[in-house]
Structure formats: structure tokens, C-alpha cells
Amino acid sequence: MGVSGVGKSTVACELAALLGLDSADGDDFHEPASITAMADGTPLTDGGRMTWLQAVATWLAAHETVGGVVSCSALKRTYRDLLVAAAPRTTFLHLVADHAVVRDRMEGRDHFMPPSLLDSQERLLEPLQDDEPGWTIRADRAPVEIAREFVDLAGLAGHT
């Protein structure tokens, strides 16, 4: 979880590879109208995110028994609560990095989310709280290092 450009998709791929699990990119669950809105610089509303969050939750629920890794911004606690309600074993990896680092990453990629929406995502972000399942990890290292740290923290080392 985290703001756009922080490295969620890349770290998710590394994590899924380390654990031998299915993975999905949360961006693939967005409706075309939502992608168009974001590409045009319009942030999504809570209502505009619900169909997308429900689709991510459905994917997680379908992988609850065998496990899976999905990248998803999950910026608000209510969004994360929805995901956990669908798949109670969900554990979050909240990636964080300095604004300038994330903005540089966003400017250097071909993606529908423009750098102009970073500020709105940062304002909306509710950091992972102590009573939520997961860890916050800095995203200014190699993605495989981040994935390995999460595996260690989550006690999943025996699964690699």
C-alpha cells in the first residue's frame, strides 16, 4: 500500500516471486472511466474508488487460502478495513518514501497517474496504524531488499 509511484507494483512482483504466490496489480482492477479521470488529473472520490476496492477485495478473498500478493494504494483506513473484511489474513506492507523521490519516479514512467495527483494522494493517506496487520517500510532501497525485509518481519521466511 502507499501513494502512486512509491514502488508498490515492483515490490509486489518481487514479494510474489520470493513466496511463489500469485500476484495482481491493483491498477488492473480500475474501470476505464476511472483511469481516464486520473489521467486527466482528476482524483477519484471515495465513491469512485468503491468498485475498484471491491474488485481488489474479491481477488484477495479468492486467494485467502493459498495466499497472494496484490498492489493497492489502500490510502485510507476504511479502504484497508474493507480489504481485511473480505480476506481476514490480509497483511499490509506500507511503502513510504520522500515526496521528491516519489515525484521523480512518477515523472520517469509511462503511467496513467500523473505526478500532479501525488499531492492529493499524500493528503488522503492515512498511514498504517499500530492495530492494523502489517509493517511500514522505506521504499528507497532495491525492491528485492524491501520484499526480503517484509518476509522476515511477517515471519514468512520458511515460505521462500
* Residue-range domain boundaries for the chain: 8-155
Q: What's the pLDDT band for 160 if we cut at 50, 70, 90?
A: very low
Strand 68-71, strand 22-25: pairing: parallel
- Enter the CATH code of domain 8-155: 3.40.50.300
Q: What's the pLDDT band for 116 if we cut at 50, 70, 90?
A: confident
Q: What is the mean pLDDT of residues 148-159?
A: 86
pLDDT in tens, 103-115: 988 787 777 877 8
pLDDT in tens, 40-99: 989 889 999 999 999 999 999 999 999 999 999 999 999 999 999 999 999 999 999 999
